[in-house]
């Protein structure tokens, strides 16, 4: 079975047999001045700002991977109730934070 991750409180077809508690992963990233300049031009004409999309995607993946490592260290094979949060650390620096509940599940 692969490591299971879900935003729901249950996983259909699986039974939660043990709860290990809260697991977390985060990353703090700074924006690049060149990317900010390009983004300001793009905001004038509209459309996706690809540089920021890529930065957020990489940040999300890194936070998620760190949360999975935390869960595996506790002996879990799944994480339920996963959420993502962001916060500004300073003007051009932001944190992306992933958290959920580490559990052991077995297939029904």
Is pLDDT of 45 > 80? Answer: no
CA distances from 96 to 45, 79, 108 (A): 28, 18, 34
More confident residue, 95 or 7: 7
Question: Is residue 91 very low, low, confident or very high in pLDDT (cuts 50, 70, 90)?
Answer: confident
What pLDDT sits at residue 95?
86
Q: Which of 49, 50, 48, 57 is nearest to 29 (CA)?
A: 57
Domain 4-107 belongs in CATH node 3.40.50.150: no
How far is it, in rounded angstroms, from Cα 25 to Cα 89?
Answer: 16
Average pLDDT over residues 53-80: 93
Is pLDDT of 65 > 80? Answer: yes
What pLDDT sits at residue 102?
98
């Amino acid at each position: 079975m692969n490591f299971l991750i879900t935003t729901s409180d249950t996983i259909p077809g699986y039974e939660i047999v043990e709860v290990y508690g809260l697991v977390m992963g985060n990353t703090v990233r700074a924006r690049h001045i060149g990317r900010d300049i390009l983004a300001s031009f793009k905001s004038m004409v509209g459309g996706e700002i690809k540089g920021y999309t890529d930065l957020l995607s990489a940040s999300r993946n890194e936070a998620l991977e760190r949360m999975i490592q935390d869960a595996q260290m506790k002996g879990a094979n799944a994480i339920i109730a996963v959420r993502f949060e962001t916060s500004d650390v300073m003007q051009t620096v932001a944190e992306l934070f992933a958290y959920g509940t580490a559990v052991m599940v077995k297939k029904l």
